[in-house]
Amino acid sequence: MKMITIYLPEPYLKALDQLVGERLYPNRAEAIRVAIRDLIESEVWRRKRVA
């Protein structure tokens, strides 16, 4: 894996911390990876459906 740096608004960080605190994800990085994966999958799927 490659490491990247991103800047997020404070409300996003608080929401990520809440998800981690509720043990839905082990850490912020994993929650962000899942969100990015889901975004990519939905965008690719949407484009294939439209095409």
pLDDT band of 3, cuts 50, 70, 90: very high
Taking the model in full, what pTM does it have? 0.81
- pLDDT of 45 reads 78
Q: What is the DSSP letter of 24?
A: S
Mention every residue, 6+ apart, whose C-beta is less than 8 A from residue 25: 19, 31, 34
pLDDT confidence of 51, banded at 50, 70, 90?
low
Q: How far is CA 41 from the centre of its chain?
A: 12
DSSP 26-40: SSHHHHHHHHHHHHH
Task: For residue range 23-47, list pLDDT tens digits in order.
Answer: 999 999 999 999 999 999 999 877 7
